[in-house]
Amino acid sequence: MNPLPLARLDHVAALQHGRTLYLHVVGRTSGLDGSLHILRDENQDHPASFAVFERPGNCGITGECHERVVLAGAAFEGRFPKIQVRSAYGTQHPTVVSLPKLVPSASAARATGASVSPGDDRLAAGEWHAWENHQGEALTLHVRGVVVLPSPGHTATLVEATPPGINPSVLLLELRVTAPAKHAEVMTPTPVSFEKRADREYAAVHIRETGETVYVEHVF
């Protein structure tokens, strides 16, 4: 029995790359150093079962613990065509996205800014999730996802694209990837996120470098 409480989970992304399953989660915790932890239930195999626990952080001398959204990830050896993930909100059955054993070289070239053939310039990616939070004083937009980069030394950031696009209800985002000076090519699933104070209700978000459009959920 784990002494930690089950986490308040907002999003799960599951990617199968060769014989490794990568789980990335977005959830809520409190305190400055609060964290999420992903564990596998070894007694459950069909489907494989995982649980996400919350470790609340330090509330400081005032005792005020403000809720924070945090990301966590874990890798598990084996092939998992179907999984289930337990949290404080119940059991989810996320789709396991199978990535090719070798991500096309165009993805690596695109990530480092090199030119590639037309139509072959998209980065491999897992599931995306976008939502607008109508609670509180300000409307906020949140985007979470996972992209596959050429090495652990690469970093990825989502920013608003310029120009913004012709449809004001669809937010156009640019995925900027920074490469290290030298690296060994080891394809690496990497979580990325974006959030902003929104001045309108968005219907969708489009990530230009992966070619994917994500419809925005509205949380009241």
pLDDT of res. 220: 65
Q: Identify which of 109, 217, 208, 124 has the alpha carbon closest to the alpha carbon of residue 160.
A: 208
pLDDT at 183: 59
pLDDT, position 218: 82
DSSP E strands, the chain: 8-17, 20-30, 35-45, 48-55, 67-77, 83-87, 90-92, 96-99, 129-133, 140-149, 155-160, 170-178, 188-197, 204-207, 212-219
Separation of alpha carbons 137 and 204, rounded Å: 22
Ranges of each domain in the chain: 1-99, 101-220
Q: What pLDDT is attached to residue 120?
A: 45
What's the CA gap between 95 and 72, in Å, rounded? 18
* Number of Cβ within a 10 Å radius of residue 78: 11
pLDDT attached to residue 121: 46
Contact 94, 126 (CB under 8 A): no
213 touches 170 (CB < 8 A): yes
- Please give the Cα distance from 15 to 10 (Å, whole number): 17
Beta-bridge mates of residue 69? 28
d(CA 66, CA 113): 39
Q: Can you give the pLDDT at residue 48?
A: 93
* pLDDT per residue rounded down to tens, the chain (220 residues): 568 899 988 888 887 877 888 888 888 888 778 889 999 998 888 899 999 999 888 876 666 677 777 878 888 988 898 999 999 999 999 888 776 543 444 454 555 444 444 444 455 566 677 888 887 778 888 888 777 776 667 777 888 888 877 888 888 888 777 766 665 666 667 778 888 888 888 888 888 777 778 888 887 6
Nearest Cα residue to 123 out of 31, 209, 184: 209
Query: CB neighbours of 90 closer than 8 A, spacing ≥ 6?
Result: none
Residue 142: its pLDDT value, please?
87
Tokens coding 201 = 């209700």
Contact 220, 211 (CB under 8 A): no
**Phi-psi category of 192—alpha, beta or left, where left has phi over 0 and alpha has psi -120 to 50?**
beta
